[in-house]
Structure 1
């Protein structure tokens, strides 16, 4: 099993400094989220606006850490880098590769959102569309890496990628004194693994939120090992991994972590609420984290905060078409 330590996250923070945008946070209105004890002080909920990151998602952190670590080690080949992705990891990899002057070849499921494909081409990536879902794109990517000699990156299951994502937690602690809990959406688990590894060092709680029908981490917890799951969710273009990473499972087994499932209707409602209340447009995956909280006016469920609890909800991506805010179209696994 690949290991991830707090030292890995610390090293990543030094590597990405000045190469990624520091996270910005914004508070939700008082009373927007109910607590488990009516009449007590409201939870203090902050939105971590990581969708403002380069390439529109947190994935830029892991891509920078991965590629710059390989450059420093002399293991970044002239044949470039390749990755399979639902879109966001590919965007981050292509952008980071361009900063280093190397080629990125990105494999996507054929049903990936057009907005992500167009942006990949803008970054100069070679885009390969593969029939099927993320797992099929990953198989094609692996074959390409073996044949071409390109460095194979991963959307989530690599210590350098997860450690890069974990740098977000250290920034949140500096911005929100007294932070108790961080809520993140989970696909394959790279963001969760990195954030939870850093959070556990500081005694913070981490909530891993997945769609009910795209629940790779939750299934791994129940089985005690990573297992394949079926994928069927409106957030599947970013949260559609069939199997969670071993690093994510290890982090989720810590007493400071909790796994929560949310229905698609709550995800759609949370995304719409972000627009109605804060004029924030995120991907459905970004709204998935917020969907686990009892947001006033929605049927969010899964985690009810304690009175006065200080919570950061990571809005992880914004590579989306805002025209579907009212009636999101079903996504494709990625």
Structure 2
């Protein structure tokens, strides 16, 4: 683990996870699971869905953002963040709850619904030409120039520990041995769920074919930059040019697998969730289900739990 952390990122400890779980109890929603006849969504066997799109701000991101804000130095009065949208909405929401000011940077192609939500929570919003990496650079420069605390979307111990509370809930909701499939952009949710369910459940990352950053990091043994297809249906939420150092370290340590899903499968999963279950989910939120359907043969013989991660469509 030490060599991995030296080349990748510092992995949150069990104590980090336990403290986040205690800190967020009663402050975030304990989201339900839904047992589904797989035929309703185009699968052969039964599936369990973890409905994290019902979380505050419409995605799991509220967990990591609030944990990071609540662990800031006591004198901090201003935060900044960058994301494709969901983390930005969550930081704006968490900052408002904590009584601090938020300045947010997102790529200019971030969906309008997410831009509107950021402003609704009282944050200052700046649109940046380019991708997430460009918004991140702007956020980090703002933090340095204005003495603000930068809340990272996925490569910060407090953020990953906050996301791990999804896994802590799943440990009470699903049996040991189930395969859990988690959508992955920068990998904060994937890393947190992996750590929370370590030794109990196998956790697989699901990435769009248009942005396979964790797959590339695993192949290289370290985070690497990739080319992203900006036209991809899920790149606004899962379009990290480089997988997080923490997620890469966790994936290498646990010898994790990545399941890739093409855009057509993501759109199909999104439509199936609405048509059959009346669940309104954004493309990134449906990517884990798309991967489960796309790789159904590889998953046969296992109970499968799919994390539905966001609804900001």
Give the TM-score category using the shorter length: over 0.9
Q: Secondary structure at the match of 2:292?
A: coil
Q: Which of 312, 319, 324 is 2:312 aligned to?
A: 319
Residue 227 of structure 1 is matched in structure 2 by 224
Task: Report the structure, 1 or 2, having the larger helix content.
Answer: 2
Distance 1:110 1:199, change over 3 A: same
* Native 8 Å contact 2:177 2:200 kept in 1: no
Residue 88 (structure 2) pairs with residue 90 (structure 1) = yes
> TM-score scaled by structure 2?
0.92
> TM-score scaled by structure 1?
0.87
Q: Secondary structure at the match of 2:152?
A: coil
Per-residue CA shift, 1:151-175, capped at 9, x if unaligned? 1111111111011001111111212
* Native 8 Å contact 1:50 1:58 kept in 2: yes
Equivalents in 1 of 2:40, 2:22: separation in Å? 36
The 5 A counterparts of 1:135-214 are 135-178=133-176, 180-200=178-198, 202-214=199-211
Structure 2: any 5+ residue segments left out of the alignment? 1-8
The 5 A counterparts of 1:47-86 are 47-70=49-72, 73-74=73-74, 76-78=75-77, 80-86=78-84
Equivalents in 2 of 1:242, 1:314: separation in Å? 22
How far apart are 1:182 and its partner, in Å?
A: 1.1
Equivalents in 1 of 2:244, 2:18: separation in Å? 21
Equivalents in 1 of 2:215, 2:13: separation in Å? 22
Equivalents in 2 of 1:6, 1:211: separation in Å? 30
Equivalents in 1 of 2:29, 2:297: separation in Å? 29
The 5 A counterparts of 1:1-334 are 1-31=9-39, 43-70=45-72, 73-74=73-74, 76-78=75-77, 80-178=78-176, 180-200=178-198, 202-232=199-229, 233-255=232-254, 257-294=256-293, 300-301=294-295, 304-307=298-301, 309-320=302-313
Equivalents in 2 of 1:277, 1:240: separation in Å? 28
Moved more, 159-168 or 1-10: 1-10
Distance 1:59 1:45, change over 3 A: same
Structure 1: any 5+ residue segments left out of the alignment? 36-41, 295-299, 321-334
Distance 1:228 1:69, change over 3 A: same
